[in-house]
Chain A
Amino acid sequence: MSTDTGYNFAYLDEQTKRMIRRAILKAIAVPGYQVPFASREMPMPYGWGTGGVQVTASVITRDDTLKVIDQGSDDTTNAVSIRKFFAKTAGVATTDRTTEASVIQTRHRIPETPLKASQIIVYQVPIPEPLRFLEPRETETRRMHALEDYGLMHVKLYEDIARHGHIATTYAYPVRVNDRYVSDPSPTPKFDNPKMDNCPALQLFGAGREKRIYAIPPYTKVQSLDFDDHPFEVQTWEQDCALCGADDTFLDEVITDDRGGRMFVCSDSDYCRERRDGGHVGAQSPEAAE
């Protein structure tokens, strides 16, 4: 198929974009609040990024450069699929370099390279409601947000500590945005939570199937929930990245044989490549083997 698809720029019709932009503006005005919107059926399945795609389609312009990542990588199949979708329907420039992108759509990660004020990061969100697994009813959770009634969440975190000695939430770790709404950072690992705090970039969250949009405006306070005696902490690894030697990134575990062999590499493939290009080597990089 050619770039001339017979569809409007970035697929969505202008009325739909206007409706979504209104929802986005409201979301920015009330940080962390989930704004209901009339989510459309998209040509990819619900649960595969339709919310993020609708948000991106509504904010992207012809001058933008788009980066799409899934699990931190530009090469995962769904990231490839979404990038192709926008290359086809909007004809925008795409990149896999975080620094070159003006719009970044992501699933499950925030890039390791700090985001800039000129950037927008769009998160694909499966379940936008942080209280959903404590209370399945939307009527109830909306009331709880309205009354700032977050006791249930604190009890859950406390019970984790009582039972396991730890807060047993490792991804989609709840945050409090601008001292008001408890929000779901989408299933990013809690490793990425600190990057959301006081972030210069605009953070937009789209949940297509659940029909919700929320936002964190630039330089907004984002606090991971914790207790004084059990402060929030992020994951750490004993290993460094086997390819670039980074000791401060989120690592993916890769099974290398059927005898328990494994290696750890940066989940952010762009960051890892940039470090390697800059001369950094890891224990198992080809340069080190020579």
Chain B
Amino acid sequence: MYVAVKGGEKAIDSAHRLLAEDRRGDRRVPELGTDQIDAQLGRAVDRVMTEGALHDRKLAALAIKQAAGDLIEAIFLIRAYRTTLPRFGYSEPLNMRALRARRRISATFKDLPGGQVLGPTFDYTHRLLDFALEDEQPAAEEPTDASNVVELPVDMPRVLEQLARDGLIEEATPPTNEDTREVGDITRTPREFPADRDERLQSLVRGDEGFLLALGYSTQRGYGRTHPFAGEIRVGEVTVEFEPEELGFAIELGDITVTECEMINQFKGSAEHKPKFTRGYGLGFGHVERKAMSMALVDRSLRADEFGEARDAPAQDEEFVLSHADNIEATGFVEHLKLPHYVDFQSELELVRKMRAEIEARQPDPKPEAAE
């Protein structure tokens, strides 16, 4: 006897209770504080802020806790919260020249004004598990010794600006709409193709780190090669300013940490035009070097049309890249396959049975189906 599929409501409530229990895990282990996530899982917080498109360390830490460490789920929580926030206006462009860098490297010059500063990086660590970390360290009274922290000069000359002064690299392109200096907003206007670079960059900042990493990597392996050099990568604090309409001048809202990657790419020129290097740009909240570099590679690849390059690699295909970079869109649609589809499936089943019956009817001497 058929038992009607009832009780969806009860099932959902029970699932939520189980999830909460599962998230908390073994209750003999102390509960994780969001301050601990913020302080000790900072790179996870940075990724959630960048792809969640909201700079708020506390909320990102909360989202990571609530999502049981599933970062895409955490990004989703942040996005769904972000979209409910009122829009007061747009900040002034960040003054990246005034970035107070903790880390600054260039792969194109051995030394340069301001110097190469490694800062906190995994780069030259040996990837050996540090078993000492298994034991909890007692909380320190004092912050760690700051004597080996280099205070980098503000207004450090930037690598690409030096090249631009000599005309060796293209100028940084201003926002597309030169009259109004207005920048697009992909959260307020629907995506249209072809997209402008400001909208593309916005999509890339939110884009999934893994997806952009793979696309950027593919360009290095010949699928739309762009000859990249890491011109300058910086991590540091920058001030966000906002000009309220009624005030008429900008006020400081606070400082945020950002990672910026300026890529120097393949030069372009012709018999008449002197060759110049080209640019790819990457930026993200917090310390997100892998993301910023991947973004810069993909940004440059997506500029193929500007430089008259053939668009035949996936990373150069604007519709392909921008339509699939958003992990919240992607995870939703992939995971929606879990929803019931029995009406569609029934329709297919009915057709397949009908077509099979027709073929059987045409074969008067039914033999068992031959092994394939």
Contacts and interface: CB of A to CB of B under 8 A. Distances in A.
A138 interface: yes
Contacts of A269: 4
B194 interface: yes
A136 to B, nearest CB: 8
Interface string B22-64: 0000000000000000000000000000000000000000000
Contact of B344 (A40, A43, A77, A108): A108
B346 A253 contact: yes
Contact of A46 (B82, B328, B349, B354): B328
A209 B189 CA distance: 13
B351 A170 contact: yes
A237 B350 contact: yes
Contacts of A284: 1-2
Interface in A120-143: 126, 136-139
Contacts of B319: 136-139
A71 interface: yes
B76 interface: yes
B355 A209 contact: no
B147 interface: no
A45 interface: yes
B342 interface: yes
Interface size class of B (residues with CB under 8 A): 35 or more
B82 to A, nearest CB: 7
Nearest to B6: A75
B331 interface: yes
A132 to B, nearest CB: 11
Given A139-B319, A211-B190, A189 B9 contact: no
A42 interface: yes
B8 A79 contact: yes
B340 interface: yes
A179 interface: no
Contact of B343 (A40, A81, A165, A171): A171
Contacts of A191: 347
Contact of B11 (A73, A77, A138): A77
Interface in B296-321: 319
Given A77-B12, A81-B12, A45 B84 contact: no
Contact of A168 (B2, B6, B332, B351): B351
Interface string B185-228: 00111111110000000000000000000000000000000000
Interface string A66-87: 0000111101111111001000
A251 interface: yes
B333 A46 contact: yes
B344 A187 contact: yes
B20 interface: no
Contacts of A137: 193, 319
A66 to B, nearest CB: 15
A189 B84 contact: no
B2 A170 contact: no
A36 interface: yes
Contacts of A72: 343
B340 A170 contact: no
Interface residues of A, number: 66
B83 interface: yes
B189 A126 contact: no
A170 B6 contact: no
A158 interface: no
A38 interface: yes
A265 B351 contact: no
Contacts of A139: 193-194, 319
A71 B340 contact: yes
A242 B342 CA distance: 17
A100 interface: no
A252 B126 CA distance: 59
Interface string B67-81: 000000000100110
B248 interface: no
B190 A189 contact: no
A253 B349 contact: yes
Given A13-B86, A165-B355, A166-B355, A45 B344 contact: no
A194 to B, nearest CB: 15
A50 B335 CA distance: 14
Interface in A174-216: 187-191, 209, 211
Nearest to B80: A43
A108 B341 contact: yes
Most chain A Cβ neighbours within 10 Å, of B5, B6, B76, B328: B5
B82 A41 contact: yes
A38 B189 contact: yes
A28 to B, nearest CB: 18
B332 A76 contact: no
Nearest to A11: B84
A58 to B, nearest CB: 15
A76 B343 contact: no
B165 interface: no
25 contacts: A41-B82, A42-B83, A45-B331, A45-B332, A46-B331, A47-B332, A47-B333, A47-B334, A50-B332, A71-B342, A78-B340, A107-B339, A138-B193, A139-B194, A139-B319, A170-B344, A170-B350, A170-B351, A171-B343, A171-B347, A172-B344, A189-B344, A253-B346, A254-B2, A289-B1
8 tightest A-B CB contacts, nearest first: A46-B332, A47-B336, A45-B332, A170-B347, A36-B190, A47-B333, A80-B8, A47-B332
Given A38-B188, A80-B8, A170-B350, 6 more contacts: A45-B336, A46-B336, A75-B7, A170-B351, A187-B343, A267-B342
